[in-house]
């Protein structure tokens, strides 16, 4: 199938090159590309979508013109459907436009699932931040490592049932099924450096919270931010505590990253995210994301002021409903704990450990 570009009117630009923003959050493209199609989201930046077999049913990937070919930003999950789509792209629209390098924004399967496969097939370098590369490698080299102590006790102590604990302990094996083996060397990309892709400079920004050191690319000359999952228009990225860092504060890290973006990015920047549609209105979206987490924190504080709660008991407080599905529960648990740990670090909650497990209670005044 021939690529179509674009399928919807692109962003309106002023003579100075700035995008015109007509609403608080503007969507310059009404429709997303179908598999095997792309939209030129910005000059020389092609936006494609790959399907995902989850409730979140797609991931955005981007091809940035790089000499005769394209640098690829993210790859899709490793499954038969994604490989077929890639194969069709290589035999069709990309036949004479080779990939030049693969950048994985972060270690989650929907983003780097096929990075190893693509790098090996075409002899390409993998670009990634150090933490994301090592996090992926750690799981791939020892996918069963989580299924042991002290991780099992950690989940139990926070009130998780046996079946939900098993779900979380086996996540490494699930990861292995969705991610092809990574190259044993990588090209580390570092916050503050500038990658030159196709003659244009892309400043590297990294941010934690959703994953430890997610890579974003800012092209100042085009007023574009490829921000992966850090800020998306319709969904909030999962912010989860991992068992390897049980007292970690990913929410605090995430909020500081959003603040950095607010301080440094122009309001009219075109954001090319990892999921949902590209948008203009980053500051507005950051305000919404911050308010979303503040509301969750308030709900937790109110509940814990009345009675101590385990993290599992906080899940319906945070999400406003009981969560039965074990897969969803694994994300919900990590997210509830992220808010709890954030409030503990701010001395607004404290942890009491009893024979029955860990409970969050209001910090004494
Ligand atoms: Zn994602």
Distance 261 CA to ligand 1 centre (A): 19
pLDDT on residue 2 = 41
pLDDT at 3: 42
Cα 111 to middle of ligand 1, angstroms: 6
CA of 205 relative to ligand 1 center, distance in Å = 17
Q: What is the pLDDT of residues 194-228, one digit of tens each?
A: 999 999 999 999 999 999 999 999 999 999 999 99
- Identify which of 197, 251, 213, 253 has the alpha carbon closest to the alpha carbon of residue 46: 197
Alpha carbon of 312 to ligand 1 centroid (Å): 25
User: Residue 63: phi, psi to the nearest 5?
Assistant: -115, 120
Domains of the chain: 39-302 (3.60.15.10)
What's the CA gap between 130 and 189, in Å, rounded?
Answer: 7
- What is the Å distance from ligand 1's center to 283 Cα? 21
State which residues of the chain have pLDDT below 50.
1-9, 15-17
Tell me what pLDDT residue 327 has: 82
- How far, in Å, is the centroid of ligand 1 from the Cα of 156? 28
Mapped onto helix, strand or coil, the DSSP state of residue 80 is helix
Report pLDDT for 18: 52
pTM beyond cutoff 0.75: yes
pLDDT value for 330 = 87
Distance between CA 345 and CA 154 in Å, rounded? 19
Distance CA 121, CA 94 (A): 15
**Rounded to the nearest whole angstrom, what is the distance from the C-alpha of residue 85 to the centroid of ligand 1?**
18
Cα of 275 from ligand 1 centre, angstroms: 6
**pLDDT for the residue 35:** 83
Can you list the alpha helix ranges (DSSP code H) found in the chain? 80-91, 109-112, 115-122, 130-141, 151-157, 162-169, 171-178, 250-264, 282-306, 311-319, 326-345
User: Among 275, 270, 344, which residue's Cα sits nearest to residue 74?
Assistant: 275
């Amino acid at each position: 199938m021939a690529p179509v570009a674009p399928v919807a009117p692109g962003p309106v630009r002023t003579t100075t090159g700035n995008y015109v923003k007509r609403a608080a959050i503007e969507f310059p493209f009404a429709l997303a590309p179908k598999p095997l199609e792309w939209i030129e989201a910005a000059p020389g930046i092609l936006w494609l979508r790959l399907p995902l077999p989850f409730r979140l049913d797609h991931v955005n990937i981007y091809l940035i013109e790089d000499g005769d070919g394209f640098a690829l930003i993210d790859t899709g999950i490793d499954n038969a459907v994604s490989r077929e789509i890639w194969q069709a792209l290589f035999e069709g629209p990309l036949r004479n436009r080779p990939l030049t390098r693969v950048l994985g924004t972060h270690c989650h399967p929907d983003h780097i699932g096929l990075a190893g496969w693509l790098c090996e097939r075409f002899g390409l370098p993998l670009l990634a931040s150090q933490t994301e590369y090592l996090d992926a490698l750690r799981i791939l080299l020892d996918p069963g490592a989580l299924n042991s102590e002290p991780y099992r006790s950690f989940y139990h102590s926070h009130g998780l049932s046996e079946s939900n604990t098993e779900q979380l302990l086996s996540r490494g094996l699930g990861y292995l099924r969705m991610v092809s083996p990574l190259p044993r060397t990588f090209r580390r990309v570092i916050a503050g450096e500038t990658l030159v892709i196709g003659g244009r400079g892309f400043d590297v920004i990294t941010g934690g919270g959703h994953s430890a050191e997610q890579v974003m690319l800012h092209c100042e000359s085009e007023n574009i931010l490829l921000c992966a999952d850090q800020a998306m228009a319709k969904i909030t990225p999962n912010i989860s505590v991992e068992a390897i860092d049980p007292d970690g504060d990913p929410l605090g890290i995430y909020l500081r990253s959003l603040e950095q973006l607010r301080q440094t990015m122009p309001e009219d920047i075109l954001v090319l995210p990892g999921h949902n549609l590209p948008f203009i209105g980053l500051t507005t979206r950051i305000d919404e994301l911050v308010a979303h987490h503040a509301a969750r924190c308030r709900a937790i504080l109110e509940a814990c002021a009345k009675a101590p709660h385990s993290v599992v008991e906080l899940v319906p407080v945070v999400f406003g409903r009981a969560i039965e599905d074990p897969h969803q529960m694994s994300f919900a648990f990590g997210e509830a704990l992220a808010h709890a740990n954030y409030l503990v670090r701010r001395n607004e909650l404290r942890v009491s450990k009893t024979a029955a497990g860990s409970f969050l209670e209001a910090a004494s005044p």
